[in-house]
Amino acid sequence: IAWAALPPLFAGAMKLIMMPLIGKKKKTQDAMNQVYKLPDFNLALRLAQTMNVLFCTIMYSSSMPILLYIGALYCLVAYWADKVCLLRLSARPPAFTQETVIGAIKLFPLAALLHCLLAFWMLGNQNVFPSDFFTDATEQHYIDRYMSGSNAKRYEQIMYNGVPTGDLESFQWYIEARIQDGFRRAAVGEAILIGMILTYYAAYLLYYVFGTHLVACMRTCWLCFHSKDGKKMSTITNETYTDAVQEMIQSGVIHSYELKSNHRYDLAYTAISELEQKHLNEQSAAVGPPVAIPQPSPVVVVVQQQQKQ
């Protein structure tokens, strides 16, 4: 905890202490500025360290529950250390967006999957958590496969003495036995959770690959069967752009080529607007106060259909 959370705090404090001592020896303004400039806050490093601690805590907490308390203590110390370091001991950071943190949060289902896999493996260990099988059929199959005849001696030797180096057949046999040990009453809950998480990832992958096309097809079919006034859709419309623009806005359809009309380009539109505002302010700094960017008036395009003669 101290190694991950406290070094930036100590580095910032030492920087403040050394500023007046080193600043006396500087002769130019640029050198003085470098001395009194606070260090940057390394968001990438702190996020990586925090994700490392949280992943290890979640993954291994099934076998070592005390890690949950250690992880909670780390979050408390890291929160206050990063808060003091960011607000008091670091230079003003750039305007970060939430995309970095959201991307990190999306990885936590993977941490839950690793937690369940380790718990499934550990709770099936009969030396630690002995329990019966969930069904009699599974127990009978396990006995016939691993506990009858010569397999019983092999089972005892492999489970308690380990697998000799290079014996891939015995290692595969051990893995199969340990996986089937997971379907006991002590670990059946973890097996269900693993199935649910894998189903979630499979659905997410299908949506990521085919989701856009499926949504477009379903939307088209929905509009075909539920068109306005119960009428079937037609390739020819009698409405003009002016008549249909309000309906397009309500339906969430992009109705203009302007950047601000498409939510996917909100960040680009904001950045361009800020750069334009800064440029205008620099030009008008010598003659008067900053001027605001005039909002462009919306361009209305009227589409008229040709009447068939």
User: HEC string of 169-181?
Assistant: HHHHHHHHHHHHH
> Residue 25 has what DSSP assignment?
T
- Amino acid of residue 176: E
Across residues 280-308, what is the average pLDDT?
A: 54
Within a domain: residue 307?
no
How far apart (Å, rounded) are the C-alpha atoms in residues 296 and 269?
Answer: 13
User: What residues contact 101, with CB distance under 8 A and at least 6 apart?
Assistant: 47
pLDDT at 73: 92
Across residues 242-246, what is the average pLDDT?
A: 77
Within a domain: residue 255?
yes
Same domain for 12 and 71, yes or no, is yes
Within a domain: residue 201?
no
Q: Is 33's pLDDT higher than 80?
A: no
Is residue 227 a contact partner of residue 233, using CB atoms and an 8 Å limit? Answer: yes
Q: Give pLDDT tens digits for 73-94.
A: 999 988 888 888 888 888 787 7
Is residue 125 a contact partner of residue 181, using CB atoms and an 8 Å limit? Answer: yes
Q: Is 56's pLDDT higher than 80?
A: yes
Same domain for 90 and 18, yes or no, is yes
pTM: 0.59
- Report the percentage of the chain scoring pLDDT > 70: 87
Question: Residue 184: beta bridge partners?
Answer: 133
How far apart (Å, rounded) are the C-alpha atoms in residues 225 and 90?
Answer: 59
User: HEC string of 210-228?
Assistant: HHHHHHHHHHHHHHHHCCH
What is the average pLDDT score of the chain? Answer: 77
| Confidence tier at 28 by pLDDT (50, 70, 90) | confident
Within a domain: residue 50?
yes
Q: Give pLDDT tens digits for 201-240.
A: 888 888 888 877 777 788 778 777 765 544 444 555 566 7
Within a domain: residue 86?
yes
Give the structural domain span for 160: 133-183
Is residue 245 a contact partner of residue 253, using CB atoms and an 8 Å limit? Answer: no
The dihedrals phi and psi of 6, each to the nearest 5 degrees, come to -90, -25
Same domain for 72 and 140, yes or no, is no
Same domain for 11 and 101, yes or no, is yes
Within a domain: residue 19?
yes
Q: Which of 120-124, 179-183, 196-200 has the least mean pLDDT?
A: 179-183
Within a domain: residue 288?
no
User: HEC string of 84-147?
Assistant: HHHHHCCCCCCCCCCHHHHHHHCCHHHHHHHHHHHHHHHHCCCCCCCCCECCHHHHHHHHHHHC
pLDDT at 266: 82
Same domain for 85 and 144, yes or no, is no
Same domain for 148 and 89, yes or no, is no
Same domain for 89 and 144, yes or no, is no
Same domain for 102 and 137, yes or no, is no
Same domain for 75 and 34, yes or no, is yes
Q: Which two tokens stand for residue 136?
A: 């009699």
Number of structural domains (the chain) is 3
Q: Give pLDDT tens digits for 104-129.
A: 898 898 999 999 999 888 888 777 77
Same domain for 23 and 96, yes or no, is yes
Within a domain: residue 31?
yes
